[in-house]
Structure 1
Amino acid sequence: MTSSGFRLAFLPNPPLPLPRVSGPKLAPLTPTARADIDFVQFLGRGNDVESQVWKAKINGAGFFVLKMFYFRYSDYYVRNYTRDLALPLADLQLYIDYFKPFNYECRVYGRLKEEKREELAVKALGYLLLTPHQEAHLAWKVTGESSDLPSADIGELDGDNFWGRYEQHCSLPVRAIVKELVSPKLPTSDEVQGMWADLQALHSLGIFVGDTYGGNYLGGKLVDFSRVWTMYHPALIQTYGNRWEEWILEELQKLQDNCYNVINSLPSENIDSFEDLDAFGVGHIADYISKILPSAYNWLKWEKDADAAHAFVEQSLFKRA
């Protein structure tokens, strides 16, 4: 696939909190969003198609977790998310702003900072932008092969490179989120017991996690939000049909499986069953949704100009007939 001539929007300079649409945002870690990075150890999954996750030192300090996001051709977001929206978004850039994994994570962490509830997840400290030399250096560390700098004159970019960069990304740096480094050890029984309470708290803050499988947790806390909707998000509002019961039940089933898998791995643990979660079946969903639906969260209270933010989502965000 080659470029159609479309270019994604430039990032603001000097850096500002991202993404640049209404709703929560994550600020840069440094005033320039740049830093000296020492890539120490790969921590991710070898088959991850969205990101590279590394243990790193940043500006000589650390250790931290650095999650760096690959590029993806913009049509991917349109193909995969338009079908779930009752109304399509007004333009291509909006699909990137709302559905790109980096932006998903920025919105979650921005909300947790707004609400002073960062204990509900492994903490994020801010975002960074990799320099061309850092991008090429990490590509070499992973593949053992030299890599052209993204600014070099190497012909049309078609995605066949380490970072998946197309022509539409040629002016954009790799984005990364800096997170606290936590131990990969199994959580305690008390930490596991708190996972259901944490999920309810996230719902109450307008955050729908969805994917609560074990690989997204460390020490009983969520660490991966690359597929999470945070209010305001169009997928929480303009979806076909009333699918909340289906979504919540699926999310809770994954959490329940995750909790019991962890408990069964703990040596000689004596733990009561997860009574609240175990008893939470179809009969409780309607009542739960009426009290704690993520889409009901009042996101406008954080907007500097609430009227303008409301007008944007009502008048400009969706393509209307």
Structure 2
Amino acid sequence: MSLSGPSESPPKPLPRAPGPKLAPFTRTAHAVIQFVNELGSPGQDGRVWEVKIRGKTYALKMISNISPTDYLRDDLAGHLVRDLSSPQFYAHYFDPFNCECRAYGRLKEENQEHLAVRSHGYLLLTHAQELEITRLITGTEDDRDDLWERTEKDRNLPVRAIVKDLVKGGHPFTAEQVPQMWADLKALHELGIMVRDINIFNHLNGKIIDFSRSWSTPHPGYTAIDRYDLREERSGDPHGLNRAVIEWGIGNRWAWDQVVIPDELVKCASGRSPNKYGPDPRVYNWLKWEKDPLVASEFMEKHVFTGSGNKEH
């Protein structure tokens, strides 16, 4: 099974690992891009700009090059109890760009793109585009390696980007949208997706806009994590949504007697629901999308983890 990355020609859906993948936005994964203006403040995993491509307006999330393996392993995958067998697997399953690709790929294959702000595919910036956006952000082209967190090893890798619908104006969400937000989150879990970063500013007009920390089945986080950490992970999404609703509502002086916060959400946020934290994303049948389910299943079982058992530090 090929596990090569975005340098392949012609470009393939990414990441090159079992499970969901996101196709390129164009046949070549390149496009003529007009950068209009930055949207919001730079996030922890990238920058989002309003752009025009082929006469249409989009939000383009540009993500720095694949994070160093030690950061992926020790920070983003720090709760795994088993080591992954290759640095490439840490990139496939924990790198923010690949996390987005996997979540959006799942929404596309299930025809459930309405559960989040829609993605249209990925792009790879050309050298000239990278210099242009660096100049627009910093005023000079000289800072591009620092801006995109490049090391000497990945200096020639392109900046990766996700093309999404542009949502203009509005608030993260309104009181009326809260029940639907909970329904959407449960539906994501039923599709094997945990967002793992639910907060006020991960929503626009009631829809999730960011999957850069998500886990999508199949994922090592679902199979190589101790019981306590898994409980914390599964409770994190409903707890985060419940907290975001309260914080945003207080800040905007909602009339709480008119706000409907689903009782199930409140119970799942604290683990007091009969089904604990809502639908279990681990039980999603991801193999139905694989051309050879047996090969894909065996690959996950025999090749993703080291044979040494417990994680070494």
| Normalised TM-score (structure 1) | 0.87
- Residue 314 (structure 1) aligned with residue 308 (structure 2): no
CA distance in 2, matches of 1:81, 1:122: 24
Check the 8 A contact 1:10/1:171 in 2, yes or no: no
Counterpart of 1:18, as a letter, is L
Trace 1:1-321 onto structure 2 (pairs within 5 A).
9=5, 11-46=7-42, 48-59=43-54, 61-71=55-65, 72-147=67-142, 161-186=146-171, 187-264=173-250, 265=252, 271-276=258-263, 277-280=265-268, 282=270, 284-285=272-273, 287-288=275-276, 292-321=279-308
- Matched positions, count: 301
Name the SS of the counterpart of 1:67 in structure 2: strand
Counterpart of 2:10, as a letter, is P
Check the 8 A contact 1:50/1:70 in 2, yes or no: yes
CA distance in 2, matches of 1:308, 1:191: 42
Q: Which segments of 5 or more consecutive residues in structure 1 lack a partner in the other structure? A: 1-7, 151-159
Deviations 1:101-157 (A, max 9, x none): 000000000000111111100000010000000001111111111338x8xxxxxxx
Counterpart of 1:84, as a letter, is H
Counterpart of 1:250, as a letter, is G
CA distance in 1, matches of 2:120, 2:260: 35
CA distance in 2, matches of 1:116, 1:10: 25
Range 133-142 or range 272-281, more displaced:
272-281
CA distance in 2, matches of 1:263, 1:245: 27
Check the 8 A contact 2:117/2:207 in 1, yes or no: yes
Q: Which segments of 5 or more consecutive residues in structure 2 lack a partner in the other structure? A: 309-313
CA distance in 1, matches of 2:135, 2:271: 54
Name the SS of the counterpart of 1:78 in structure 2: helix
Check the 8 A contact 1:23/1:303 in 2, yes or no: yes
CA distance in 2, matches of 1:209, 1:66: 20
Deviation for aligned residue 1:261: 3.5
CA distance in 1, matches of 2:253, 2:26: 40
Check the 8 A contact 1:245/1:286 in 2, yes or no: no
CA distance in 1, matches of 2:48, 2:5: 25
Check the 8 A contact 1:127/1:175 in 2, yes or no: yes
| Normalised TM-score (structure 2) | 0.89
Check the 8 A contact 2:176/2:259 in 1, yes or no: no
CA distance in 1, matches of 2:9, 2:26: 13
Q: What percentage of aligned pairs have identical amino acids?
A: 41
Counterpart of 2:58, as a letter, is F
Over the aligned positions, Cα root-mean-square deviation in angstroms equals: 2.2
Check the 8 A contact 2:176/2:260 in 1, yes or no: no
Deviation for aligned residue 1:275: 3.5
C-alpha distance 278-75 of structure 1, shift in aligned 2 (>3 A): closer
C-alpha distance 302-214 of structure 1, shift in aligned 2 (>3 A): same
C-alpha distance 94-247 of structure 1, shift in aligned 2 (>3 A): closer
C-alpha distance 62-10 of structure 1, shift in aligned 2 (>3 A): closer
C-alpha distance 87-267 of structure 1, shift in aligned 2 (>3 A): closer
CA distance in 2, matches of 1:213, 1:222: 9
Check the 8 A contact 1:82/1:88 in 2, yes or no: no
